[in-house]
A = this chain, B = another copy of it.
Amino acid sequence: MTKRVVIVGSGFGGLFAAKALKRADVDVTLIARTSHHLFQPLLYQVATGILSEGEIAPATREVLKRQKNTRVLLGDVTRIDVEARTVTSELLDRTTTTGYDELIVAAGAGQSYFGNDHFARHAPGMKSIDDALELRGRIFGAFEIAELATDPEEVDRLLTFVVIGAGPTGVEMAGQISELARRALVGDFRNIDPRTARVVLVDFAHEVLGTFGDRLSAAAAKRLQDIGVEVQLGTKVVDVDRDGVTVEDEHGSRSLIPSFCKVWAAGVSASSLATQLAEQTGAETDRAGRIKTLDDTTLPGHPEIFVVGDMASLQGYPGVAQVAIQGARHAAKVIKGKPPTPFVYRDKGSMATVSRFHAVASVKGLRFSGFIAWLLWLAVHIVYIVGFKSRVTTVLHWFVSFLGRGRSERVATEQQVLARLALEQVGDSFSLGSEGQITRRTAKAR
């Protein structure tokens, strides 16, 4: 009987594991909670109106269409039974149990609010298409409401954007919001000047892009300031609510940054499947909830279970796409018959864009910043996207979006505008009907 391989997740780990098994004599079942793969490194461009969601989220089954040994199932994996060797997934009222001979778990990580889950409603994370579209509605909505506002203090609050977390996602978001306000939106309004918007990037660390090394951190911080981002480092976030973000400096002094639109790009926490697997196998988990794997990415006593990507902890490898992709390929090789040697991550380098035409890149000990780094960033991203997009037209499409300066994807649904904006503007008194429609009466009643 052909060996059954089940893959959990359609992120970088899951998708690349499936692709690596393309020609293997195995039956592959990929089970994921979303029907799309998400190219998370460009999520900030969806949130800021540059790309459409379809451009960074191809349907997983479309990507794997021609791979005849692979099927894709939509479902939320709720249970992995390592004794019975089954994976249970749910979609609405439908429960599906899938048996496996070998299992690759790549369920990733979600946003972590470090125990302050009440921050989440006011400061969406940057992990999913839902997040990005919600933030798109909040960002553009802030300018719309500000155009109507009459109280100068209220206008200031509406035009203050706080991004929490100065890693790549936070830096990119802060940079793009600032460019949006200072370039793309100029001339669109009559009562406000979008160039007066404040974009504040807050982190407890003492540098932006800490993992890139001192020189690039300094270059990125300088570039951020040049394009109008206020960088507040060594600053702890103690509260996030409707009014804004309360921060504490190193002397313990607290202050409120009044802000309508808050973005959380600070922490991640592994899928709860990590804990579930740890309990069953005796593996340990770390502070971020990631499961500690053996050197070959398998779990102790379970050479048939591989855990890769953001939910795995191994050798301190960072939670980046390349670690997931290489880990997935390593697992696929072992499944195809290669002896289970230790997985060694080859750092191909890391990069982040700070603004249009300006990036920082660290590649094999070489560090670039500025235009050259941006070209490198562009080239790498185009190569990856081309890998997913099978049609010439969609590649061309993406290329055009990417080089264009427009913010042609500004639309938010009315539901997003009203529900989300009501939360930050009117407070908790609005209500959502059972089908997601917003009761405007509540807003009016105030």
* A interface list, Cβ under 8 A from B: 33-36, 49, 52-55, 57-59, 61-62, 65-66, 71-76, 90-94, 96, 121, 128-130, 133, 140, 144-145, 147-149, 187-191, 389-391, 393-394, 396-397, 400-401, 403-415, 417-419, 421-423, 425-426, 428, 430-436, 440, 443-444, 446
Contacts and interface: CB of A to CB of B under 8 A. Distances in A.
B414 A34 contact: yes
30 contacts: A33-B414, A34-B414, A34-B417, A35-B410, A35-B411, A35-B412, A35-B417, A53-B411, A54-B408, A59-B188, A61-B189, A71-B191, A73-B148, A90-B443, A91-B145, A92-B425, A93-B425, A93-B426, A94-B148, A94-B149, A121-B435, A129-B414, A130-B414, A390-B406, A391-B404, A391-B408, A397-B401, A419-B436, A432-B432, A432-B433
A53 to B, nearest CB: 5
Contact of A404 (B91, B397, B411, B413): B397
Contacts of A191: 71
A289 B109 CA distance: 52
Contact of A129 (B49, B411, B428, B434): B411
A440 to B, nearest CB: 7
Contacts of A390: 406
Nearest to A50: B54
A36 B407 CA distance: 13
A111 to B, nearest CB: 14
A397 B394 contact: no
A76 B421 CA distance: 14
Contact of A415 (B130, B426, B444, B446): B130
A401 B410 CA distance: 17
Given A148-B94, A435-B121, A389 B408 contact: yes
Most chain B beta-carbon contacts within 10 A, residue among A65, A415, A423, A426:
A415
A147 B413 contact: no
A145 B128 CA distance: 21
A434 B442 CA distance: 13
Contact of A444 (B90, B393, B432): B90
Given A93-B443, A415-B436, A432-B436, 17 more contacts: A35-B140, A52-B52, A52-B55, A53-B409, A57-B411, A59-B188, A59-B410, A62-B188, A62-B407, A65-B187, A73-B147, A96-B148, A129-B411, A393-B404, A396-B400, A397-B404, A400-B400
Contacts of A434: 428, 431-432
A113 to B, nearest CB: 15
B394 A404 contact: yes
